[in-house]
Structures are given as structure tokens and as C-alpha cells.
Structure 1
Amino acid sequence: MRFTTISVAIALVALSVSTSLYGQRADDQIDPRSMTLLQQGRAAQAAGDLGGAIDSLETALVVDPRNAEAFIVLGDIARARSLPGKAIRYYRDALTLDPNDTVAMRGEGEALVQKGAIDKANEVLANVREICGSGSCPEGDRLAAAIAKGPPPAANATAANDAATPEEAQ
């Protein structure tokens, strides 16, 4: 009788462990709910509802903080709102998840250009080109075009003010 109770307990434990493992997704898969929220955020962004897009994307990151695409889209929205510092943070969050993501690198480089940090943007461009290798590199080409265009006039004025000494600023 003692052996029957023990064997039933072992069978129940084995059954519960096997079903719990069966229902789990692989570690590299993003939660499907997060991906759905990402798509809703992109749709809201395309419709011009940036507030709604941000809400959906932030919720996507709460559901699964490994959703690098959500960080990238949030970075794109921050750049569209002329918030390059915030955009850089989002792109770097995406790069923490995937250090070789050329889309996130391009976004970071464009935000650096928007901020007026051309030298740092050139460093990012060099990294993008290194990752792309000798093949086609559309992200590198887009970043090179943004660097060639230069920062917006407001960023040029800000960079000039930052470079001025305290005596010159008065």
C-alpha cells in the first residue's frame, strides 16, 4: 500500500512537470500578445495617433520587455516629436537586446544627427557598415544620407550654444 501511494505521487509530479513544460514557449519567442500590441501601435502611428501608438507600444513592452521592435518604433516616434535624447535611449534599449540590430543603429545615428552629434553618428555609421560587411547595406545608406544632410537648424543653434564659452554666451 505504501508503494502505491508513492508511485501515484511520483506519477502526478511527472505529469504536472511534463504538461507545464509543454505549454511554455521557447525563450527566444516574443509573447504573441506583445506582437499584437506592436502591430496596433504601428497602425496608430500610421494613422497619426502618436499618443495611442505610445500607449500600445509601452503596453507591448510590459507584456514582453524583450520586444526590441517596440523600442525601435518608440524611438521613431520620439524622433518625430523632436525628442532625440529620448529616441537615443529607446534605440539603445533595443540594442541591449540585439547589439547587431542595424535598424536600431540607424535610428540611433539619425537621432544623434538630429541632436547635432555628427561625430558620434559617424561612429554609429562605421559600426553599421562593419556589421553589413561588403554586401548591400540599406540602413547604412540611409544613415549616411542623414549625416550628409546634417542636423536641423535648431540643432545647429543648440550645438553652437553648447560650444560657446560662458563669457561668449553673456
Structure 2
Amino acid sequence: MILNRLPLLPLAIAAALACSPAFAAGSSDTAGSAAPAGMNEAQAAVDAGRYPEALKLLAGVIKTEPRNADALNLMGYSNRKMNRLTEAARYYDAALKVNPKHIGALEYQGELFVEMGDYDRARQNLKLIAAICGACDEVIDLRAALDAKGQS
């Protein structure tokens, strides 16, 4: 009986991983592939709120992989958290040029639009994300950012 279910085990594992918080975060474009040198350290710096350190590490990643949408997205995020909104916008645009369906970049760019008071563009990003992933965490987070400004 159990042997009949073994072929389904990889699917069950994949489903469990897709629902885990780390995988569902949506900021990653390269799930399952090896992270480039410096990327894990940069992510740790971002997670700890050490944005200047993260920017330095991410610059190294982008130097070796200029089309790394995850690194470009985190550059945007770190700049936004440092209130460097023009730089943040530039990096989100670059990440989305590499991967127009990068839900992490779409969410963070939407949050940037909310911070800038551009609620229509934030809602456009919300619709794009919802079309890609349904009711994923990124949709919930961007909707919350809009709701906090009374713009749902």
C-alpha cells in the first residue's frame, strides 16, 4: 500500500516546501538553484536591517551577475528602507526588466508606490501579483500596505 504512494512523495515534498514561509516569501527568482557568492550573506544583512552592508554585498553579486533579479530586487528593497526612493525605483525596474513576473519585486515596487502616494500604480502591481500567485503572501502584504493608507 505504501509502495503505491512512493511516486507521490516528491510531489508532497514540493507542495510542503511551496507552503513554507521561506519559500513563499516571493522575493526569490532562483528557488532551487545555488545562490551566487555573497547572496546568502546579503539576504542575512537585509533580514537583520543592515542595509548599507547588504548594498555592498549585493553590488558584488550584481557585478558578477548583472541580470540577477533577486539581487536587483534586494538592492531596491535596501535602498527603499534607507529612504533612497529614486535608487529603489531604479533597481525594482531593473529586476522587473529581467523578470517581469518577479512577485517579490512587484510587491516591493508596489510598496514603494504606496510610500510615494501613487496608489493607482500600487493597485496595478497588486493585480499583477494576484494574477501570478492568487492569494499569496505578497498580495496580502501589498493589500495591507494599501489598506493602511485607506487605499484598498
TM-score (norm 2): 0.69
Which residue is 2:53 aligned to?
52
Is 1:137 paired with 2:131?
no
**In structure 2, distance between residues paired with 1:79 and 1:150:** 18
Shift of 1:113: 0.5
Task: Tell me if 1:70 matches 2:71.
Answer: yes
Answer whether contact 2:51 2:82 (CA < 8 A) is retained. Answer: no
**Residue matched to 1:94:** 95
Deviations 1:2-39 (CA, angstroms, capped at 9, x unpaired)? xxxxxxxxxxxxxxxxxxxxxxxxxx9xx96x722111
Aligned AA (1:105)? L
C-alpha separation in 1, matches of 2:148 and 2:48? 27
Contact 1:106 1:125 in 2 (8 A): yes
After TM superposition, give the deviation of residue 86 of structure 1 in Å: 1.9
Consecutive unaligned residues in structure 2, runs of 5 or more: 1-29
Contact kept? 2:77, 2:108, Cα under 8 Å: yes
Look up the match of 2:12.
Answer: none
2:100 partner SS: coil
CA contact (8 A) 1:112 1:120 kept: yes
Q: Percent identity?
A: 30
The residue matched to 1:100 in structure 2 has which SS?
Answer: coil
Greater RCO (Cα-Cα under 8 Å, separation 6 or more): 2
- The 1:35–1:114 alpha-carbon spacing in structure 2 relative to 1, beyond 3 Å, is same
* Amino acid in the other structure paired with 1:150: K
- Structure 1 CA distance, aligned partners of 2:88 and 2:127? 20
Tell me which residue corresponds to 1:159: none
Query: In structure 2, how many angstroms separate the alpha carbons of the residues matched to 1:78 and 1:142?
Result: 19
Look up the SS of the partner of 1:36 in the other structure.
coil
Q: CA deviation at 1:47?
A: 4.1
Q: Deviations over 1:103-137 (max 9, x none)?
A: 110010001111111111111111111222xx432
| Corresponding residue for residue 112 of structure 2 | 111
Q: Which runs of 5+ in 1 are unaligned?
A: 1-27, 152-170
User: Displacement, 1:48?
Assistant: 4.1
Counterpart code for 2:91? Y
Q: How far, CA to CA, are the matches of 1:52 and 1:148 in structure 2?
A: 32
Contact 1:110 1:121 in 2 (8 A): yes
Aligned to 1:168: none
Structure 1 residue 61 corresponds to structure 2 residue 28: no
Cα distance change, pair 103–48 in 1 and its aligned pair in 2 (3 A): closer
> Deviation above 4 Å: which 4+ runs of structure 1?
none
